[in-house]
Amino acid sequence: MGVINEVTFNTVHNQQKVRLFTLNNQNGMIVQVTNYGAIIVSINVKDKDGKQADVVQGYETAQEYIDNNEFYQGAICGRCANRIRKGKFMLNRKEYSLTVNNEDNHLHGGMKGFDKKLWDVKESSASEVTFQYTSPDGEEGYPGTLSVTVTYSINENNELRLDYSGTTDQETILNLVNHSYFNLAGEGSGTINNHQLQIEADFYTPLTKNLEPTGEILTVKNTPFDFTSLTGIGDRINTDHDQLKIGNGYDHNFVLKHPIHRLDLAATVIEPRSGRKMEVFTTMPGLQLYTANWIKNVKGKEDHIYQEREAFCLETQNFPDAINQSHFPSPILTPKNVYKHSTIYKFSVY
């Protein structure tokens, strides 16, 4: 099917309209996004033979995203994506307690994070759409009234670009992430172990048994985390390594080489059978590799049943739990500053 029928997203949720927006370019690339959770619903791109497929997991209707999206498929996660240890942090000598929704930790914005919000549609065209959400002071425990926007746009280079911005009326913390699950052979087509991955990172941040960062920054050299050259995602995923056991696979933040705020290459993925290639560019300092380790029997598009390690996420982000790790890049946003970051997913064939 690939392209989703926009009618299946025409519904009302919390007295607001849910809609699906279809973005096109002249090369046949089609991207669909919805204002519910600012979710990427589908990305249709051609393989080496010109055959199109949808390369992100998800659902065919708005109601399924509303009812079933516990794994954040395609969604914008916020205010703070990833984990905050025990849901607590200090800011201006005051301790804040966030909602705890992942064992003892706060994950991806809490019980009703940005992935479960209906965003306002600010602008839309055939190649671009901008969503906006205002998060009230105290939502999920966060301080400050925060206004955020995300713009999705595509161009003739088969680039899907995400531009984020945020402003606040008092100091708060912010780390917005898109949580798309990719399979470059096409969603629902089985294991991603054969995908070849390169990450522009010499270091990664290891985890405790509760999946929070230990605070260490370790070299990838001579470990299963060395993706400094193209390597099969599945080549070492079952290695007897403490960190892989903790995550049940890869669920780790990589320390990108490029200077923060400079839009630069972060990762390259190729899928040998289809010939599809995806390059990820970002201004953010971190990249989370997640190999869908906890997905089991999730019914998705076209009655596909998604299982573990049938998709991967490359989440461009600040480091997890950065507010509690003073040597990590700061996630603090002040009223004087504007939060900005950009990410590009570029598709081609090789």
Ranges under pLDDT 70 in the chain? 1
Please give the torsion angle defined by the CA atoms of residues 237, 241, 243 and 245, in that order, rounded to the nearest 10 degrees: 70
Please give the torsion angle defined by the CA atoms of residues 57, 283, 251 and 312, in that order, rounded to the nearest 10 degrees: 20
pLDDT value at position 124? Answer: 97
Residue 264 tokens, joined: 């630069």
pLDDT value at position 75? Answer: 98
Q: First vs last Cα of the chain: how many Å apart?
A: 24
Residue 152 tokens, joined: 């999705």
pLDDT value at position 64? Answer: 97
Q: Buried (b) or exposed (e) across 133-159, using 16+ Cβ within 10 A?
A: bebeeebbbbbbbbebbbbbbbeeebb
Catalytic sites, residue numbers? 179, 315
- CB-based contact 331:173 (threshold 8 Å): yes
Q: Which CB contacts under 8 angstroms, 24+ apart, belong to 67-72?
A: 68/298, 68/299, 69/37, 69/39, 69/115, 71/181, 71/292, 71/294, 71/295, 71/298, 72/108, 72/115, 72/179
Q: Which SS3 state, helix, strand or coil, does residue 205 take?
A: strand
Q: Residue 24 contacts by C-beta under 8 Å, 6 or more apart in sequence?
A: 30, 126, 127, 154
pLDDT value at position 1? Answer: 63
